[in-house]
């Protein structure tokens, strides 16, 4: 497997071209600021009536309506939320110059066919493996978040070079760039979110918490054991894999892990993982999510309200309020939880 680094970036395929970043959220703002610091000419595409217009202007960027921004650019990074991208593409399609590149940070809309780009443009992806805040912080510290690169359409025979130059501009070649496909990135990303990183982890935490509380243990103690300490383990895994975790946890914890863990996550769990993967591969999840958006998100809102009103969240807010070192982040997350409720 080839990992592309700074040493591999010999020519800036975006030299002299304007990059339009459409969408100024977590990823969009990070990408735009990194690209600007790397010497690229960046224009932000945003609605004049939206909050992003002022935010991007305050950050020192030229700002234009999406179609106007796209018309100026040799590369258009479409970084709005997944469910907004098809509509935005419809608004900018006629403004995109022949031979320009349309870039995504996630393959959802291309892979599942919600967007079918014109044949005379490059369609590429650079997907940082981290949130926008991390992409920016790592860049400022002289490091970079690893990225995935994919080419869905190469109209100019330069699509791969453009993608690598974009990855280089946001710091990706510092962390390493790995080639993939829109299909592989989309399906593995959705699977990871649903089965392990978000869905699996959140449900495991909640089920563990409820089991202890149901057995008569204090909710505060259950919170510490099932949620608060999770970060300590994840940090060890992130830094050095399983080996580092086993090096730093107790022998008692390791023995419990090795002998009891497989009773919790077992062959039945694996089979359900395969079912979820199958729904992703078949397009069922994508259809469900698109229909949910078209219906106004009734199920999503109801489930989110149920989750944010769970006892573990009420207990957690109270405990985090006493943790001065967490307060800035806790305030942000707790405010978001209150809005969702």
Assign residue 127 the CATH number of its domain.
3.40.50.720
Give the Cβ contact number of residue 153 at 10 Å: 18
Task: Evaluate whether residue 210 is within a structural domain.
Answer: yes
Does 161 lie in the same domain as 209? no
Q: What is the per-residue pLDDT for 324?
A: 84
Does 94 lie in the same domain as 11? yes
Does 275 lie in the same domain as 204? yes
Task: Evaluate whether residue 185 is within a structural domain.
Answer: no
Give the closest residue to 168 by CA, choosing from 141, 123, 121, 128. 128
Residues of the binding site for substrate = 250
From CA 270, how far away is CA 272, in angstroms rounded? Answer: 5
**Do residues 338 and 309 make contact, with C-beta atoms less than 8 angstroms apart?**
no
Does 172 lie in the same domain as 118? yes
From CA 307, how far away is CA 103, in angstroms rounded? Answer: 34
Longest dimension (CA), the chain: 66
Last residue of a domain, one of 159, 180, 201: 180
pTM for the model stands at 0.91
Residues of the binding site for NADP(+) = 24-27, 47, 52, 132
Task: Evaluate whether residue 339 is within a structural domain.
Answer: no
Exposure string (b/e) for 60-96, b if CB count within 10 Å is 16 or more?
Answer: ebebbbbbebbbbbbbbbbbbebbebbebbeebbebb
- Residue count (the chain): 341
Does 115 lie in the same domain as 70? yes
Q: What is the per-residue pLDDT for 327?
A: 64
Q: How far out from the chain centre does Cα 167 lie? A: 15
Task: Evaluate whether residue 332 is within a structural domain.
Answer: no
In degrees and rounded to multiples of 5, residue 275 shows phi and psi of -65, -45
Q: How far out from the chain centre does Cα 240 lie? A: 22
Q: What is the per-residue pLDDT for 336?
A: 43
Q: Which residues of the chain have pLDDT under 70?
A: 327-341
Task: Evaluate whether residue 63 is within a structural domain.
Answer: yes
Task: Evaluate whether residue 280 is within a structural domain.
Answer: yes
Does 215 lie in the same domain as 168? no
Residues of the domain holding 307: 192-326
Does 200 lie in the same domain as 165? no
Does 247 lie in the same domain as 135? no
3-state secondary structure of 263: helix
Last residue of a domain, one of 128, 150, 180: 180
Q: What angle do CA 311, 313, 314 make, to 5 degrees?
A: 65
Task: Evaluate whether residue 303 is within a structural domain.
Answer: yes
Give the Cβ contact number of residue 257 at 10 Å: 15
Work out how many domains the chain is built from and give that number. 2
Q: Is 111 a catalytic residue?
A: no
| DSSP, residue by residue, 181-199 | -HHHHHHHHHHIIIIIITH
Does 198 lie in the same domain as 141? no
Does 221 lie in the same domain as 111? no
Residues of the binding site for Mg(2+) = 189, 193, 225, 229
Task: Evaluate whether residue 340 is within a structural domain.
Answer: no
Does 103 lie in the same domain as 7? yes
Give the Cβ contact number of residue 20 at 10 Å: 31
Does 127 lie in the same domain as 200? no
Q: Is 165 exposed, middle or buried (0-12, 13-18, 19+ CB in 10 A)?
A: buried
Last residue of a domain, one of 133, 153, 180: 180
State how beta strands 147-153 and 122-128 pair: antiparallel
**Do residues 162 and 14 make contact, with C-beta atoms less than 8 angstroms apart?**
yes
**From the candidates 9, 31, 40, 106, which is the catalytic residue?**
106
């Amino acid at each position: 497997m080839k990992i592309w680094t700074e040493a591999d970036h010999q020519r800036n395929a975006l030299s002299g071209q304007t990059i339009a970043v459409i969408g100024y959220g977590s990823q969009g703002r990070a990408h735009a600021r990194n690209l600007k610091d790397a010497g690229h000419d960046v224009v932000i595409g945003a609605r004049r009536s939206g909050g992003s217009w002022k935010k991007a202007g305050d950050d020192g960027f030229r700002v234009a309506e999406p179609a106007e921004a796209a018309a100026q650019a040799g590369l258009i990074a479409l970084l709005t939320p997944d469910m907004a991208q098809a509509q935005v593409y419809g608004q900018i399609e006629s403004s995109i110059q022949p031979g320009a590149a349309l870039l995504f940070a996630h393959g959802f809309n291309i892979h599942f066919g919600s967007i079918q780009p014109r044949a005379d443009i490059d369609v590429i992806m650079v997907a940082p493996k981290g949130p926008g805040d991390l992409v920016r912080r790592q860049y400022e510290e002289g490091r970079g978040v690893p990225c995935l690169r994919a080419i869905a359409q190469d109209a100019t025979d330069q699509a791969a070079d453009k993608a690598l130059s974009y990855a280089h501009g946001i710091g990706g070649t510092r962390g390493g760039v790995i080639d993939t496909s829109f299909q592989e990135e989309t399906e593995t990303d959705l699977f990871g979110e649903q089965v392990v990183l978000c869905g699996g982890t959140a449900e495991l935490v909640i089920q563990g918490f409820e089991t202890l509380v149901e057995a008569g243990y204090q909710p505060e103690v259950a919170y510490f054991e099932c949620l608060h300490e999770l970060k300590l383990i994840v940090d060890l895994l992130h830094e050095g894999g399983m080996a580092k975790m086993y090096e730093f946890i107790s022998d008692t914890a390791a023995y419990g892990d090795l002998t009891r863990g497989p009773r919790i996550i077992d062959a039945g769990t694996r089979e359900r993982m395969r079912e979820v993967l199958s729904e992703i591969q078949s397009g069922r999840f994508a259809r469900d999510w698109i229909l949910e958006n078209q219906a106004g998100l009734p199920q999503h809102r109801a489930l989110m309200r149920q989750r944010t009103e769970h006892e573990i969240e009420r207990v957690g807010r109270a405990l985090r309020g006493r943790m001065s070192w967490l307060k800035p982040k806790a305030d942000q997350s707790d405010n978001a939880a209150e809005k969702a409720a």
